[in-house]
Amino acid sequence: MKLETVLTVAQSKRLIAWGVVQHPYVKAAFHNGIIGICRGTTCSAVAEEFLGRAIEKFSYTTGVTLPKNPFPEITPPKEVQHDIIIRHGEIHMDGEMVTETAKNMSPGDVIIKGANALNYREGIAGCLVGHPAGGTSGGFWGPLYGRKLHLIIPVGLEKEVSCDILEASAECMEENSGNALMPLTGTIITEIEALGILTGVSAIQIAAGGIRGAEGSVRLLASGNQEEIREVDKIISALENEKPY
């Protein structure tokens, strides 16, 4: 059986967050290790799933991309949330940053970090870096490899770019006063992987875009048995009222 569906950017973020929470690496680290959740719009949805409650928009983000005149206007959060660190199932938000936690993590522990660009077929994501010290990604990249951690990259298919991220990364390093683009490799979780994790279906993206709130949306075609497609339909129904970020 097959089921076609369209997901807005906000719906995709929520779906991906559900998939991240249920990923085997994340579940294992939740019970037996450490998870560090970096800031970002998709990661804020992940944070909400672990917290079991909504958090103020933009209170768990950094470096968001906005138009010159956002509509509707942005309401600044009343407070900025501390980084979320989960140790053996206990959630900590006491001011310790993911970059600090990474230095004391062990093999099998998890860092969750979103992305700004995606080469889906190549399995490579990209993260914009504007801080001279490398920002969050630069802060955990050494421990990620030195301590053999799992990097989970929740990223919507809307972030797919036409260029080769490795080539673009090199291009950004020359005569560019703007951001650098850091390539990221790890376990990429898009809408496709999230649906697979949650229901067992296989899915492909067959179109993208839209208007009047569907800008950046993705059109997916899911394939599976009757029970799997029924579960996908339930998930889509549960996402219907997801509000724009």
Q: Is the residue at 243 inside a domain?
A: no
Give the side-chain half-sphere CA count within 13 A for 127: 27
Task: Evaluate whether 129 touches 54 at the Cβ level (below 8 Å).
Answer: no
CA-angle at 224, arms to 218 and 225, nearest 5°:
145
Q: Is the residue at 234 inside a domain?
A: no
Q: Is the residue at 6 inside a domain?
A: no
Task: Evaluate whether 98 touches 140 at the Cβ level (below 8 Å).
Answer: yes
Q: Is the residue at 1 inside a domain?
A: no
Q: Is the residue at 237 inside a domain?
A: no
CA distances (Å), origin 194, targets 23, 51, 52, 191: 9, 19, 19, 5
Q: How many domains does the chain have?
A: 1
Q: Is the residue at 218 inside a domain?
A: no
Query: Sign of the CA dihedral 186, 191, 193, 198?
Result: positive
The radius of gyration of the chain from alpha carbons, rounded to an integer in Å, stands at 18
β partners of residue 92: 85
pLDDT digits (tens), the chain, 245 positions: 999 999 999 999 999 999 999 999 999 999 999 999 999 999 999 999 999 999 999 999 988 898 888 888 888 898 889 999 999 999 999 999 999 999 999 999 999 999 999 999 999 999 999 898 888 999 999 999 999 999 999 999 999 999 999 999 999 999 989 999 999 999 999 999 999 999 999 999 999 999 999 999 999 999 999 999 999 999 999 999 999 98
Domain of residue 157: give its range.
Answer: 11-198
Q: Is the residue at 78 inside a domain?
A: yes
Structure tokens at 156: 């919507």
Q: Is the residue at 210 inside a domain?
A: no
